[in-house]
Structure 1
Amino acid sequence: MNALTDLFALDRIALNNLSKNRAEAFAAVGQLFAKQADLEAEAIVGFLNAREDLGSTALGAGVAIPHGRVKGLKQPIAAFVKLQEPIDFSAPDGEAVSILIFLLVPEKATQQHLEILSSIAQLLSDQDTRKLLASEGSPEKVCEILQTWGSA
C-alpha cells in the first residue's frame, strides 16, 4: 500500500479531456470533484487558482500537479486527467502539459498534503511510468497503475 492507493477511483480518471486551457481544465475537474466531495465547483476552482497564482504546479516533461487545501473537505481526493491536446501551464521546461493529477486535501492536512504531493511527484518523475500513463487508453488500467505504483 502506498500514499496514493486510496486517492484514486475509476470515476476520477478522465482520458482524452477536451480542455483547451487551464481555466477549462480547472472547471472540468471542479465539476468532477463537486459531485464527489459535496463542495461547490466554483470554490474548488478558486482553491486551485489560488495555489496556481503562487507559481505553476507544472513539473516539466508534460505533467502538472494542480493542488490545494480545501476548507470543509474530510479526506484527500485526487483525479487523473489526460488532455487530448497539451496546454500551456508555465512549466519550468516550457513544455505544454497533457497529464494533470489534481489533488485536494483538507485545509489542516499540512504533513499529509506534503507526503501525497511527494508521492505524486515521484510517480510523475519516473519516465517509464509517465510514458505508460500517457499511452494508456483504459481508465481501469490507469487507475490500477496509480493505485499500485511503488508497491512491491
Structure 2
Amino acid sequence: MGSKKRVFEQAGVLFEAHLGLARSVIFDSLFAREKLGSTGLGQGVAIPHGRIKGLKQAAGAFMRLASPVPFDSPDGRPVNLLFILLVPEQATEEHLQILSELAQRFSDRAFRENLQQASDVTAVISLFQA
C-alpha cells in the first residue's frame, strides 16, 4: 500500500463495503486522529482508530500488509499488522477498553508471529478469539 494515507483509504473502502459507512468519513476520522500522534505501537503494529458519528457500536478490521509502511512508530519500524478500530462518536470507556485489550494482545510476541503466519481468515479470527 505504500503509506498511511493508502492504508486509511483501503480501510475506508473496507468499512464502506461491509458497514455501509462513507469511505471519506472513515478516512477523515482516521487521518484526524493520526494527526494528534502516531497510532503505531512498535514491533510492526499500529491501531489506527477514529470516532464515527451515527455508528451504533464499535467495529474493527484487521489488516496484514504484504509490504510494511512507515508509521512513525516509537521504535521507528514500519508497520504491517494493523487493527483499525471505529467507535461511536460518544464512546469513551468502551473505546479505551478495546484499545487497551488490543494493545495488550499485540504486545505478545507469539500473538504477532501467529498473525504473520496465519494462512487464512479463519486462522486470524481464531487468534483474536483465543
TM-score, normalised to structure 1, is 0.83
Which structure 1 residue ranges, 4+ long, deviate > 3 Å from structure 2?
Answer: none
Shift of 1:136: 1.2
Question: Which whole-Å CA distance do the structure 2 matches of 1:89 and 1:82 have between them?
Answer: 14
Partners of 1:73 and 1:90 in 2: how far apart?
Answer: 28
- Which residue in 1 is equivalent to 2:32? 50
Q: Quick one: which of 42, 48, 52 aligns to 1:70?
A: 52
Aligned partners of 2:127, 2:11: CA distance in 1, in Å? 20
Structure 1 spans left out of the alignment, 5+ residues: 1-18
State yes or no: 1:91 paired with 2:47: no
3-state secondary structure, aligned to 2:100: helix
How far apart are the structure 2 equivalents of 1:38 and 1:73? 10
Partner of residue 144, structure 1: 126
- Structure 2's unaligned 5+ residue stretches are none
For residue 103 of structure 1, the aligned residue among 85, 88, 101 is 85
Q: Distance in 2 between matches of 1:28 and 1:84?
A: 14
Q: Which amino acid aligns with 1:109?
A: A
- Equivalent AA in structure 1 for residue 48 of structure 2: P
Matched residue, 1:59: 41
1:17-32 aligned at under 5 Å gives the runs 19-32=1-14
Of 99, 104, 125, which residue of structure 2 is paired with 1:117? 99
